Chains A and B, each alone.
Chain A
Amino acid sequence: MNYSSYITLIPLLPLAGFIILGLFGKSLTRSAGILGTFLLLVSTVLAFYTAYNYFFVSGKINGIYPPVTALHYTWLSFSPGLSIDMGVLVDPASVMMLVVVTFISLMVHLFSLGYMKGEDRFATYYAFLGLFTFSMLGLVLSTNLLQIYIFWELVGVSSFLLIGFYYDRPAAVAAAKKAFIVTRFADLGFLIGILILAYYGGTLDFNMLIYRLTATNLSPLTQTPQIGFMGISLLTWALVLVFIGGAGKSAMFPLHIWLPDAMEGPTPVSALIHAATMVVAGVYLVARLYPVYLLDEAVLQIITWVGALSALLAAIIACTQTDIKRVLAYSTISQIGYMLFALGLSGYGDTATGYSASLFHLFTHAFFKSLLFLGAGAVIHFVHTNEIREMGGLRKLMPLTHITFLIACLAIAGIPPFAGFFSKEEILLAAWENNRFGYILGLVTSGLTAYYMFRLYFRIFWNRTPSYSNHHGEGSWTMKGPLLVLAAAAITVGFIPFPHFVAVNGQEEITVPLRFSIAPVAVAIAGITIAYVLYFKNNPLPRKWALAFRGMYKLVRHKFYFDELYLFITKKIVFNGIAKPAAWIDRHLVDGFMNGAGWATTRLSESIKALQSGSVQNYMLYVFGSIIALAAVFIYWT
């Protein structure tokens, strides 16, 4: 199948939207959104067409879907063998992401037509959305380590621009800066990892790199004795460093601090960037280099633990937050932790289940999490606050939002037959087979997830109804439509035989025995029940419980004081400890010497003051005179 004819259009159309709206957006006003949405609709259709062609027309060869490089040209060449090539890689993972990114982005574009209506910078908003979608699509289609890094940075800056969209709000600006700088810090690891892999792998191309490293004795990284640094092999260093980049983007502990703050951006943006697409880039990156990661079990085990801890800690924090978007943000961290947890499980011997389960969860999560965010957006649009304590009883006022939100909650809690159930089952199965302790952590997280999601649900849609000043309806159909479509997806996508399409070794299916499902579902129902008891009706129980566990509650409510820790590091150590002395030394020590020289010159010039007439003509004369004199002296020197 020849994809090159149209596949490049998929990322380029949103880019065209960015350029057109960026330059001429002001004069387009309302039609800016329609133009952006239309371009993305075309992209989405093409993406689905690609998926159809790839999975059903081309089909499997020797039991696997073969990777195809549909386009490839040298963008920047460093040395023989090393160059940044801009290309399009079509393989199961990238096609899956293509569908997810275009589809969610389309839903967000539609939703925003209603949600962002009347914004001053409506066209700019759509321009940024176009830039983001372009960058994200470029990221998933990358063929090359530095190509992915380029788009990695571009999604970062799009995220910065969109978080800071309400640029006159200091909190939004601070959040945007924080997001960019924290991920930049992680990207430093990614960059150094790339340098190591590229130098010793002799290539930046993914397929070539995987080939060189997995075949024996082609790269110094995999030869014995292994080259190392500080007693750890360079391969391990490289893979850990690359993973740090991924962990930063995916907001894993302890680099997660930017994501909850990123909720300052417009809510549809949170749905797109900070729930469904950009934040899973870390998972995608590890999946992309998966055969290389398989070479080093230690790194995979690190990934598992980072994932599991993030999943658990974020879920705990989510239970105490009262800002609807922050609960969802911690929930996203927790779910992405789940995905990385699954990917890393391969470090314990089993190679296939974890990979497929992880990407399956990425796939289903994209739908129900973006649905949750858009639902939250609709709620915020209605009640004009993020604070769940000021909400309640909305089921009657927003019936459609209520139903779709409930569906999403059931999906994320892992209740059959909703989408999250299937993907979570596979992850837990992989954990059960490889790492029993991890399985327990996963199960606990699963219960907590059900609890905090239904805490949110009951608090917003049931409980006591405050008097709302606002009496407009649920929103236009551009807002309701995407909710319905995503709800339909959250119900159905779980039935897709995912491992059939996306798997490492062409493994056909993962069968989860029926009795295995009992424990996870029971835990989820327990979580929901507790949430029901506490939050279905307005009662004093939650406050009592919080008081009973006062110390722990405070610790969790303050998010384990991570922000305070970072503030200490940046303010006290980096600013006062490094930057200030550097600036002081420069002005006083290094420059002190120069000033000494300057003082001497001033004294000298005092004595030849007569020369300073203040007239430029005279200065000119000196200038040319000196040049000529210099030349003359020089000529007759010998």
Chain B
Amino acid sequence: MSLSVLIILPLLTAIALLLCNGFRQVRVVALSGAVVQLIYVLWLLGAYWQQRPAGNAAAILFEEDLTWFASLNIHYHVGIDGIAIAMILLTALVTVAGILVSWPVEKLSKEFFFLLVLLSLGAYGFFISLDLFTLFFFLEVAVIPKFLLIGIWGSGRSSYSAMKLALLLMGGSALVFVGLAGIYFNTPTANGPTFDLLQIAQAGISTDVQELFFPFAFIGFGIFTALFPFHTWVPDGHSSAPTAASMFLAGISMKLGGYGCLRMALLMPAAAQSYSGIIIVLATIAIIYGAFATMMQTDLKYINAYSSVSHCGFVLLGIGMLTKTAMMGAVLQMVSHGLMTALFFAAIGMLYDRTHTRQVAQLGGLLKVMPFIATVFVIAGLCSLGLPGLSGFVAEVTVFMGAWQREDAWYRLATILACASIVVTAVYILRAMGKVIMGPLLVEGTGSLLQQGHVLSDARWNEKLAAVLLIIGIVAIGVAPFWLTELIN
């Protein structure tokens, strides 16, 4: 098994895309690349599974190490553990689904798919990197396409949103860079300063260095995963982005931040311990305040974007609690939220394509005319409100159980507030669902079209396939969570 294939495949796909002519060719190439990648990831998962029973107890598997810049001791060092492979699996699923949903994109399709593939490449590279510089490099590779995707193919105030997103994420990157550089220069190992995650972990970072640089790295990564109060790029960015970009943004890109935060907390446990209180306060605010803010939204994409702020709060809460169970919950929540929110955005995109509005007030009773899409919407909504049997419940209950292990009264209060969000979530999800999916049929955007006998069509094959793929992921975690928890453990 070679992890580099995970990067080479998207790279080849991207190059092939540049050589294509016409959007028909482009989308076939993009989809084939993503599907091959998914198959490879599944194969990797199988290989990983075989290692453990075979007695391989190493923390990191499939390592590869090449010197990149010898003078600075930068390596292309990759390897995966269970957490990384869970994130890679998520990335592969969302990529395929995103490309399927973008099937009809004709405007600059070559560039569009190129950027999508580039984004996934960055994510894969990020998740497998064991060298902090390589990690940062791939993080940047994943950031830039987002700006362009929103700016060029976006809707509404797209240039404003793209700018906002780019500013905040670049700012986040800068903080991350300061944090990582701080670690690099202040970790004495046998071979001088190093970016190597494993060597740093082994050598240990002194407590004052940790306390100095942890906030930089953590806030930096936190911005990517909607850390309060740096979350404001999320609603605007998501709502302006084209469907696939929203899916990638919430499904993959926000997870880069969560994953980075988790790695930082594991790498610098002393600092994580001393800042744990602050992290929890911010996470709890994001969870409960995000949920209340969602209640007042009128645009479906804003609803899902604000709800992402609330849900990503669970990731940060799980990390901040620092118990093993809570951190496991954080990883579960990342995977679950990635699948669920991608599904939600896909469903919203499908509705928008047909009705040309995302305003809740202008829609109603769509179950009657597009039962498949409506069902997808309902499943995504139920997953979001933490219905058992779907992945959201598994993740949330794990975070709660882990968080409750912290006995201090303030930690308990934070946990209770986080628990309370399940009620608020139910309110805003059911309000949206009750209006858009149920109730009397109403489509204001195309009302006149309807009168002319225009039929609102249900999902096409590509949309069905994308939805089914994501739903399989959600149900597989929700019904049988043990495979994933064993993987992460």
Binding site for B on A (CB under 8 A): 74-79, 82, 84, 146, 149-151, 153-154, 157, 160, 164, 167-168, 170, 173-174, 176-177, 180-181, 184-185, 187-188, 191-192, 195, 198-199, 229, 575, 578-580, 582-583, 586, 590-591, 593-594, 597-598, 601-602, 616, 619, 623, 627, 630-631, 634-635, 638
Contacts and interface: CB of A to CB of B under 8 A. Distances in A.
Contacts of B441: 168
A383 B239 CA distance: 50
A620 to B, nearest CB: 8
B431 interface: yes
B405 A181 contact: no
B209 interface: no
A28 to B, nearest CB: 16
B422 A594 contact: no
B415 A623 contact: no
Contacts of A638: 71-72
B289 A586 contact: yes
6 contacts: A176-B430, A187-B422, A195-B404, A582-B289, A586-B289, A598-B164
Nearest to A157: B387
Interface in B428-463: 430-431, 434, 437-441
A185 B421 CA distance: 10
B397 A181 contact: no
Contacts of B385: 184
A177 B367 CA distance: 16
Interface stretch (B49-57, B136-144, B247-255): B136-144
Contact of B229 (A168, A590, A631): A590
A594 B166 CA distance: 12
Max chain B C-beta neighbours (<10 A), residue from A78, A575, A601: A78
A188 B365 contact: no
Q: Is the interface of B mostly helix, strand, loop or mixed?
A: helix
Contact of B394 (A76, A229, A619): A76
B465 to A, nearest CB: 16
Interface in B285-303: 289, 292-293, 295-297
Interface in B199-255: 229, 231-233
Contact of A579 (B71, B292, B405, B485): B292
Given A157-B387, A601-B163, A82 B419 contact: no
A154 B382 CA distance: 11
Nearest to A580: B296
A177 B433 CA distance: 9
Contact of B388 (A79, A153, A198): A153
Q: Is the interface of A mostly helix, strand, loop or mixed?
A: helix
Given A167-B437, A188-B420, A191-B422, 15 more contacts: A76-B397, A149-B388, A153-B386, A154-B387, A154-B389, A157-B387, A164-B434, A170-B440, A184-B385, A184-B422, A188-B419, A583-B293, A583-B295, A598-B167, A623-B148
B401 interface: yes
Given A154-B389, A185-B423, A638-B72, A78 B296 contact: no
Contacts of B389: 150, 154
Nearest to B378: A161
B410 interface: no
B427 interface: yes
B397 A146 contact: yes
B368 interface: yes
Contacts of B198: none
Nearest to A635: B69
Nearest to A592: B232
